[in-house]
Structure 1
Amino acid sequence: MSNEHSGGPNAVVIDGETLSPTDVERVAREDAPVRVPERAREAVRESRDRVLEVLEADEAVYGVNTGFGELVNERIGRGDLELLQENLVRSHAVGVGRELEREEVRALLVTRLNALVKGYSGVRETVIDHLVELLNAGVHPVVPSRGSLGASGDLAPLAHAALVLLGEGEACVANGDDGDRLPGEEALARAGLEPLSLEPKEGLALINGTQLTVGLAALFVRDAERLLDAADVAGALTIEVAMGSTVPADPVVSAVRPHPGQAISARNVRRLTADSSIVASHRNCDRVQDAYSLRCLPQVHGAAREAVAHLRSAVEVELNSATDNPLVVPAEDVDPRATVTDRAAVLSAGNFHGEPLSLKLDYATAALTELAAIGERRVDRILNPNVQESHLPPFLAGRSGLESGAMIGQYTAAALVNELRSEGRPATDNATVSGGQEDHVSMSATSALTARRVVDRATTVTAIELLCASEAAEYVDDDLEHGVGTGAAYDAVRTVVDPLEGDRPLSADVHALADYVGSGALRDRVDEALPEGLVSNDDAGAA
């Protein structure tokens, strides 16, 4: 595993500098192999040499020859240094709750690997090789999801992952969602690996960092970006079939209030509804203004875009950061008072603290809650007989009274929005642990786990809007045509669900559309139909 070409030509390169949310998704969801280039391996070897120099100096150094947390002042003898590191991993594996999903474990592993190869953690190259092989051989430690405080990083989840490297704990070994659940030592053997005996600094390096938080945050960013585009599509289709106006998406409106996210969503509405004879058919009608849920789409969707873009920028930094403690660095890089030897310094600091992610995760979670909330209000605009246009039957029922049509779709969307609002309260909080030594934490993993649930529920609300807007389209005059993009969206929905021909359970339809949106297939289908394509956060750099 030590050569630069391990993993093949399609492997994601793990170099400590260039990992992106898309790379994390490829490894986590598509089982892309990974490889560590020689330049990163050299950084790992140099970092390990610095640790060995520190050992020879025989000074008290946190993480190398002392206890941990409140026990930092306990000096550990040379004969117990390996046991110290292994006991650290064992004692910190106190996670509870649901087990992380396969993709979540892979995201945790690849982000931890990338942090270690930056060359500030002091592990041996064999530790790197073991992590590479876990990913490439499909060995996935069983990791409970709860237990992290987000400082000193995601200790408990990372400890459960590290247990397998010792030949302890449990792992699932397979390429599919399910697999053989084996004791750690047997799982390693399946990958042709021997259990590791941890050497000084390695146990702490494996468990001290923000990798559960940032791994989940990277997946959340990818899911949220797909949702943002799908919400623009669903909203544009609703505006069209509700006989709403696209004037609020005029470039002049965004130019005089130049928030970049607003401009993106407004541009998408214009592109999606381009050449719509449905929109043109009522351009000179008596209605003066649309309801806010239609008229303020660019402002609300745009604000959500900027929240997700803000998070993405933090995730991109965090993915390629050293979040270990202590950091082992070249002596020439620091104040001489911090050096331990002529070549090495060991810096006890706080890069493990998850606050840079937790605050932005909470912000993005609140933003997606608002995205879902305005979508639910648009669903009501095309179902509610007290507010909808006269060309639409109450609740889109073919035989009102005898049938209920899509009525309960709005109920479900409203229930999901209520859940989102309860989830959307900031998870960032504090608890004092380790005898007061660790007296401020971020709860960043809680924020990340919450964000994962929120994006799933918000995606379902958007699926309900697509379902209802496509059904409303069945009542538009046959002589009128959709816009280029909204027509593609309607056609895409109809490849997944059929029009209503009398009442039927819609639960399976909603699930199928939510999966379709979450996969990115809707965005791709619409994007192909538009001459200039949809504008996404990545395209325009919303921030």
Structure 2
Amino acid sequence: MGQIVILNGVSLTAEAVVAIARDGARVGLEERAREALTATRQYIEEHWLGVDAPLMYAFNTGVGALKSQRIAPGDIEAFQTNLVRSHSAGAGDAMPTEVVRAMMALRVNAFASNHSGVRVEILDRLIAMLNHGITPVVAAKGSVGASGDLAPLALMSGAMMGLPHSRVRFDGQEMPAARAFERCDLPPTIDVQAKDATALINGATASLAYAVLAAFDARSLLTDAMISAAMTIEALRGEVSSFDARVMRARPHAGQARTAFALRQMLSGSQRCSEPARQVRLTGAQGPAGQRHSPPLAPRIQDAYSLRCIPQVHGPVLDALDYVDAIVATEINSATDNPLIFPEEEGYAIVSGGHFHGQYIAQAMDFLALAVTDLSAICDRRSARLIDPSCNFELPGNLIAQRPGINSGFAVAQSMGTGLVLENMGLCSPASATSLPAKGNTEDHISNSCFAARRTRTIVDNARSVIAVETLLAAQALDLCERDLADFPLGIGTSASWRALRETVPAMLGDDRWMHDDIAQVTALLADGTLRKRVGVSCGPLWPARDSW
């Protein structure tokens, strides 16, 4: 049996959300949470759903501008069902399956905190869908992230209910939701009663699903960028003194110090980044290859910013990730619908609030978008240096191994990276500062969190391809250097990543190959963590506890 994630509303982690979303981890509900939910719901049905109950928002009233409109007990189920229908106003392509699965798990976890008042049957239905692999088809666009992600969550809820228009992905096919339930021996439909639908669609949970996955991937991406940077430094026989721990202590930002430590770990044992290695002529340079320059070249002293300032540029990304992860961790275990329910000495209190508003997520995702965009930009600048004969220290132009002119080498691979960086630059404009009133001015300030998070996921995906290009180019450069610099070993981490890459993607030492496939293969190696794992085995953790760096 695979991993089982038990939800209780207080202890879910981003790693567990990713396991549910991507790896198909099974989901369960903690028994204490189940008991608490059952007791709360029993109280609600006994005390709050009668004809003489006071007006309570979303229980026996309409929503939004209709908040003062009383709903009779006999109409509550129809009201809740119609709420899902009326709010299913999404547009655009469908969300990826992993995002929808994350959204479903996060909604269950929010309910498990026992502040929403939903029936436990709602949680069980969503859990059954996750465990059977029934994933609602949810349009990605249309949420303003104010009263939560209303449209995406309504589309998810309609599928959960088995409504006729709802579609799901199941067993590799798209089909009506009810049919998928029947194939799993589950009831084809389920009703929604007081507070069920209002709780289901209230909260910035689609935004959070995108954010969890984007932040998780961005942290892995930063490690990949550290690896590609180390490979480029060695390919260019760079100067590593700027990563000295004493230099870092003179301006003691944590992220900067940690990235410098990671570089020192990977470059440990390197003789390639030394003055003797720099004096060796490379094949293709003027004069006999493999011999020392005479007269000697002037000392390198220091490198261009894209090499020398890696700690100062990658470091802020690490600090940004720490901030973003803290926001995401809090959101994962928060109750985010309205109103919320709290136990009192005699019964429960119901309190209206604004936890559905997605501004925390929106601002965190804007911050992450800026950080990852800049990370992709510096990686691309290193790629540009690798192919440019004016600044790549005797490497062949475009990293062409033979027959320049007949072969074009890696120029367009590098240009592709620049194109993705330009796209990221256009995408990273702040979404959280863009607000227009919605729903008859009831939502007079919106967060735009769903777009912010969805956009940031795109930026992260683009950045992975940019880093893949740097990795591919740096590996090619190391291969071209190897015949002349074999006596100058690489650092332990750089060597491990280079050799791991070459197990899948051979060097281009003859004619040009189909570049798309090489880039795709390297991107896949980054996505599955192959290079990170091999570097970790060779030189230990790159991000250890504080005392180490």
Same fold by TM-score greater than 0.5: yes
Shift in Å at residue 308 of structure 1? 1.6
- Partners of 1:445 and 1:66 in 2: CA distance: 27
2:170 matches 1:174? yes
In the alignment, what sits opposite 1:349? Answer: 353
Shift in Å at residue 441 of structure 1? 0.8
CA deviations on 1:238-282 (whole Å, 9 max, x unpaired) are 011101111111111211211111111111110101001111335
What is the letter of the counterpart of residue 488 of structure 1? Answer: A
CA deviations on 1:357-400 (whole Å, 9 max, x unpaired) are 1101011011000001000110111111122202x111111233
Name which of 445, 449, 457 aligns with 1:452.
Answer: 457
CA deviations on 1:440-466 (whole Å, 9 max, x unpaired) are 110101011001111110000000000
CA distance change for structure 1 residues 55 and 86 in 2, over 3 Å: closer, same or farther?
A: same
2:215 matches 1:221? yes
CA deviations on 1:59-93 (whole Å, 9 max, x unpaired) are 11110111111111211111101111111011100
CA deviations on 1:12-35 (whole Å, 9 max, x unpaired) are 111111111100110010000011
In the alignment, what sits opposite 2:340? Answer: 327
In the alignment, what sits opposite 1:337? Answer: none
Task: Compute the TM-score of the two structures, normalised by the length of structure 2.
Answer: 0.92
What is the letter of the counterpart of residue 358 of structure 1? Answer: A
In the alignment, what sits opposite 1:5? Answer: none
- Partners of 1:213 and 1:124 in 2: CA distance: 24
2:179 matches 1:192? no
**Contact preservation (8 Å) 1:50, 1:328:** no
2:255 matches 1:261? yes
2:405 matches 1:401? yes
In the alignment, what sits opposite 2:271? Answer: 277
CA distance change for structure 1 residues 311 and 222 in 2, over 3 Å: closer, same or farther?
A: same
SS in 2 for 1:97: strand
The 5 Å alignment of 1:484-503 reads 484-500=492-508, 501-503=510-512
CA distance change for structure 1 residues 516 and 294 in 2, over 3 Å: closer, same or farther?
A: same
- Partners of 1:200 and 1:67 in 2: CA distance: 11
- Partners of 2:477 and 2:101 in 1: CA distance: 42
In the alignment, what sits opposite 1:243? Answer: 237
**Contact preservation (8 Å) 2:277, 2:488:** no
In the alignment, what sits opposite 2:80? Answer: 85
Name which of 315, 322, 344 aligns with 2:328.
Answer: 315
Shift in Å at residue 149 of structure 1? 0.8
- Partners of 2:278 and 2:487 in 1: CA distance: 16
The 5 Å alignment of 1:37-52 reads 37-52=30-45
Q: Is 420-429 or 498-507 further displaced after alignment? A: 498-507
Identity %: 37
In the alignment, what sits opposite 2:420? Answer: 416
In the alignment, what sits opposite 1:358? Answer: 362
- Partners of 1:83 and 1:310 in 2: CA distance: 43
Name which of 143, 152, 171 aligns with 2:138.
Answer: 143
Structure 2 residue runs without a partner (length 5+): 280-297
- Partners of 1:460 and 1:287 in 2: CA distance: 31
Shift in Å at residue 192 of structure 1? 2.5
In the alignment, what sits opposite 2:310? Answer: 297
- Partners of 1:215 and 1:18 in 2: CA distance: 16
Shift in Å at residue 48 of structure 1? 1.4
**Contact preservation (8 Å) 2:168, 2:177:** no
2:153 matches 1:158? yes
SS in 2 for 1:182: strand
In the alignment, what sits opposite 2:527? Answer: 518
2:375 matches 1:368? no
What is the letter of the counterpart of residue 85 of structure 2? Answer: R
**Contact preservation (8 Å) 1:44, 1:119:** yes
**Contact preservation (8 Å) 2:215, 2:325:** yes
In the alignment, what sits opposite 1:338? Answer: none
- Partners of 1:226 and 1:165 in 2: CA distance: 33
**Contact preservation (8 Å) 1:164, 1:188:** no
**Contact preservation (8 Å) 1:47, 1:329:** no
**Contact preservation (8 Å) 1:171, 1:181:** yes
- Partners of 1:483 and 1:119 in 2: CA distance: 53
- Partners of 1:437 and 1:382 in 2: CA distance: 55
**Contact preservation (8 Å) 1:459, 1:517:** yes
In the alignment, what sits opposite 2:293? Answer: none
What is the letter of the counterpart of residue 461 of structure 2? Answer: D
In the alignment, what sits opposite 1:336? Answer: none
What is the letter of the counterpart of residue 351 of structure 2? Answer: L
In the alignment, what sits opposite 1:461? Answer: 466
In the alignment, what sits opposite 1:133? Answer: 128
Moved over 4 A (4+): 282-285, 539-542
In the alignment, what sits opposite 2:58? Answer: 63
Name which of 107, 110, 116 aligns with 1:115.
Answer: 110
2:435 matches 1:430? yes
The 5 Å alignment of 1:377-396 reads 377-390=381-394, 392-396=395-399
What is the letter of the counterpart of residue 75 of structure 1? Answer: R
Shift in Å at residue 434 of structure 1? 1.6
In the alignment, what sits opposite 2:199? Answer: 205
**Contact preservation (8 Å) 1:137, 1:191:** yes
SS in 2 for 1:456: helix
**Contact preservation (8 Å) 1:25, 1:219:** yes
Shift in Å at residue 173 of structure 1? 4.5
CA deviations on 1:470-494 (whole Å, 9 max, x unpaired) are 0111232122211100000100111
Shift in Å at residue 9 of structure 1? 7.4
- Partners of 1:54 and 1:227 in 2: CA distance: 50
